Structure 1
Amino acid sequence: MSDWITNVTLLQRVKNQHDDQSWEEFNEYYRPYIYMITKGLNMQHDDAKEITQLIMIKIWKNLPKFDYDPDKGYFRGWLRTVTVNMVRNYIASKAFKQESLESIQESNESLPDLDRDFSKSEIERIADEEWEVYICRLAWDNVKENFEENAQEVYRLLSEGKECDVIGEQLGIKRNTVYVYRKRIQEKLYREIRRLNHELG
């Protein structure tokens, strides 16, 4: 990833639709999160990819006239709203097409019903959980090169839920060394997560 800038600055830059570099940065930061929300709403992989692409096109078209006000909420809240609305429209469009083809062929594809399957609070919970997962992954990608290979392996095993004693035995290092690695990683990771939430949230 390129040098970090505040997301407010990035949002100002992507208003210029001819600024390809800013759009690439925006795309790199936010596309995975949009995809994760869409998957969290029970969309199949291919549908989620298509919806994500449609959303990115819509955002690109609308950003020149979009005014982001941090006092009114997080940018990711706006992304969530756009994503959920696009998923609804996509499902409605696909359901209409399936209904039109009903007399020709049976469709085995089942589409989720957002209003039936999810309450507003559940959609918000899914989006918030996906954001946490996304930011944690992004933070680790940003900081992991600061740690030696053993420390990276400790983090991987901790993420799998393994105990420090087990990790020490598996890697052939002292238990205290595992604790030291864990503490150093947590401190750096939490700082990076806070920074990313401030920059991108």
Structure 2
Amino acid sequence: MDKWNTRQTLLMRAKDPNDQVAWEEFVSYYREFLKVVIYKINSSTSLSEDFLQAVLLEIWRSLPRFEVDKERAKFRTWLSILVRNTVLNQIKKELKQNKIRKELEPQAEPNQAELDQMVQKEWELHISRLALDNISQRFTGKAMDVFKLSLKGKSIEDICAELDITPESAYTLKNRVKKYLVREIKRLRTELEQ
């Protein structure tokens, strides 16, 4: 019998340092998000993979001690502080060892309010991209094309002309994809957020 029932979130499973599958799933969901946040803190591309590995290691070490407390702080807040502190510590370590050039120093350390706002925005974009990727396989034909063109700001008339479909079909396809996207975003938030 599986020791984790289906109501337990990925976060709760990933807290167990012995659950390699949960950790790998956690990393697959959070890797791209973490890369963006790290880049926003310091735009050094030469060290971004090193910073990412340091952040993942620190998450792995600290996650078992993380306690869900919705009144105090969300997981994203805890994560943003951990990422910021880890990256800034890595930069200081690199500078101390004279391994990086002066232009790789952080331009300005983001304050916590700025970081929280940036993390919130990037998280919402990340969840939306994950959800869109997840539902893309569900649709065949022109449904995803209609939806993606509408996301780019194309009018229904332009979409119909480009895809050779009627306005009724375009609205139907767009709304069908949107409906599944909203469900998938909700599912991912339930799974990935506390």
For the aligned pair, the TM-score class normalised by the smaller chain equals 0.7 to 0.9
What does the per-residue CA deviation read over 1:140-181, in whole Å, with 9 as the maximum and x for residues that have no partner?
Answer: 112122222301111221222222111111111112211111
Q: How far does the alpha carbon of each residue in 1:111-152 deviate from its partner, in whole angstroms, 9 at most, with x for none? A: 22333xx34332222111110110001111121222223011
CA–CA distance in 2 between the matches of 1:15 and 1:175?
A: 49
Report if the CA contact (8 A) 2:68-2:75 is conserved: yes
Q: What residue in structure 1 maps to residue 54 of structure 2?
A: 54
User: What is aligned with 1:111?
Assistant: 105
Find the aligned partners of 1:134 and 1:21 in 2 and give their Cα distance.
21
Distance 1:138-1:165 versus aligned 2 partners, 3 A rule: same
The normalised TM-score by structure 1 is 0.82
2:77 maps to 1:77? yes
TM-superposed deviation, 1:108: 6.3
How many angstroms apart in 2 are the aligned matches of 1:23 and 1:139?
20
Q: Which residue of 1 aligns with 2:13?
A: 13
**1:114-193 alignment to 2 at 5 Å?**
114-115=108-109, 118-193=110-185
Count of aligned residue pairs for this structure pair:
189
Distance 1:14-1:199 versus aligned 2 partners, 3 A rule: closer
What percentage of aligned pairs have identical amino acids?
A: 32
- Whole-angstrom distance in 2 between the partners of 1:72 and 1:17: 24
After superposition, what is the alpha-carbon deviation per residue over 1:14-33, rounded to whole angstroms, capped at 9, x for unaligned?
33322211111111122222
Instruction: After superposition, give the CA deviation of every residue in 1:32-91 in whole Å (9 maximum; x if it has no partner).
Output: 221121122242334222212111111212233333334433212211111111121122
Which one-letter code corresponds to 1:123 in the other structure? L
Given the superposition, is the C-alpha separation of residues 120 and 58 from structure 1 closer, same or farther in structure 2, using an over 3 Å criterion?
Answer: closer
Runs (4+) of structure 1 exceeding 4 A deviation are none
- Out of 167-176 and 61-70, give the one that drifted further: 61-70
Q: Which amino acid aligns with 2:48?
A: A
After superposition, the CA RMSD in angstroms is 2.4
TM-score, normalised relative to structure 2: 0.84
